[in-house]
Chain A
């Protein structure tokens, strides 16, 4: 809806479509992080709105596990964000995308990009 509403959001975002936020294995996020993505934004339906009833609750748990691991190891967990944005909320998507891009700009580029060990 952000597109049809002609709302602007940063071009640095590469959108990947999944059928449910719980389809996102934390390992996807790790791979993105280690291959140089500056940040990963996960959009999911609001709690209680899940077509599969509980998908987004599982996403939330997995996301928290990943975040805690990053904090525990001293890595920047702010590079990941989970936001409840339903399909019709184009305005919220544009807003969150802009916010998140700004957060990432403040953190700076991801060091994994140039690290041959990763």
Chain B
């Protein structure tokens, strides 16, 4: 059981009033949140310091991910002035993974997250006619079903409850979202922040029965999704079919919350092709695919970050060639994380698998 702030208003309004209170009383210096940038409902992330602006424009629960907010938080932290961030569970996990890699800090960040119904693909959401889509979305997630309009990986996401948030807000599976606001405080930090805020405080938690029901549906959906990428033909042909379309733009790694390297190994001169190399290869093969090394890049990236993949789906969303990148990375990432009993974003103290060793493990290796 946790302490829960109860406000007799819609969840969005209640949360914004709470944040306004924190801003006015100088407990935080600003809020990172989604906000609408025009009347058509198009949303972007913004860091807002003015309480009036916050109340007017913030859309904290908009089902869209213009960028993975963990990347933004990396540029906002470490900070000496406390800030609040309203982000999705996978964005929070992504940020925790970044903090482990020294790309930001959780100090002075009040993380607010919510049970997430998934996000609508970017180009669908950021079009002028999204109003009905969004209304329908919020109607569906009052129940336990995931809307059809969301990303494929969101439909199959089993970690829709934030793992390390200071404040958790029930949105998905909460049918009283329009009339009632509960802010579940998971940390001392959050309780301290809410001290002077005039509200009712009760002892409560997420409805475990509803959460279990959602989880059951998501798990079933995941099995279906993973079957679509499981190899129907011999592995290599399948791989060529899937990644053969790759144009080598490396957009997937640009938007990836885990790929933080300023210079990606695969963009460095280590893997430059010159005419000698090409001639050498052409002497063995009848033709050469250009640009080269697209499959090499994907396999290499899997080696570098798959165990930390939070399955946010951003890579698939931006892929101009329509490759199901995220589905493949999520599936493979889960397989890899499993052998190390690792869950990305579970705990900031949990060291990433390649940075730590155990003397006794994998006895089958080495013979």
User: Whose C-beta in chain B lies nearest to the C-beta of A77?
Assistant: B235
Q: Which of B230, B302, B336, B365 contacts A60 (CB 8 A)?
A: B365
Task: Report the count of interface residues on B (CB-CB < 8 A).
Answer: 43
**B interface secondary structure, majority:** helix
**Residues of the A chain whose Cβ atoms lie less than 8 Å from the Cβ of B236:** 75, 111-112, 115
Residue numbers in B under 8 Å from A83 (CB-CB): 366-367
Which of B235, B303, B331 meets A65, CB within 8 Å? Answer: B303
**A69→B240 contact, CB < 8 A:** no
**Is the beta-carbon distance between A72 and B265 smaller than 8 angstroms?**
no
Point out the residues of chain B lying under 8 angstroms from A117, CB to CB.
Answer: 240, 244, 289, 295
In the bound complex, residues from chain A placing their C-beta under 8 Å from that of B265 are 27
Scan residues 205-260 of chain B and give those whose CB is less than 8 A from a CB of chain A.
Answer: 230-231, 234-240, 244
A61 to B237, CA, bound (A): 28
Quick check: A69 and B332 within 8 Å, CB to CB? yes
Cross-chain contact B339 with A114 (CB below 8 angstroms): no
Residues from chain B with a CB closer than 8 A to the CB of A34 are 295-296, 299
Task: State whether the Cβ of B361 lies closer than 8 Å to any Cβ in chain A.
Answer: yes
A residues less than 8 Å from B244 (CB atoms): 117
Number of A residues whose C-beta is below 8 Å from B?
A: 41
Shortest distance in angstroms between B339's beta carbon and chain A's nearest beta carbon? 6
Q: Are B240 and A118 in contact (CB under 8 A)?
A: yes
Measured in the bound complex, the distance between the Cα atoms of B239 and A111 in whole Å is 12
Q: Which among B25-33, B36-44, B49-57, B279-287 touches the partner chain?
A: B279-287
**Other than the known A68-B339, A112-B236, A116-B285, what 20 A-B pairs have Cβ atoms closer than 8 Å?**
A26-B303, A30-B303, A61-B340, A61-B353, A61-B357, A63-B365, A65-B306, A65-B307, A68-B332, A69-B303, A69-B336, A70-B235, A73-B328, A74-B230, A74-B235, A75-B235, A75-B239, A76-B235, A84-B366, A113-B285
Residues of A within 8 A of B (CB): 26-27, 30-31, 34-36, 44, 46-48, 54, 57-58, 60-66, 68-76, 82-84, 111-118
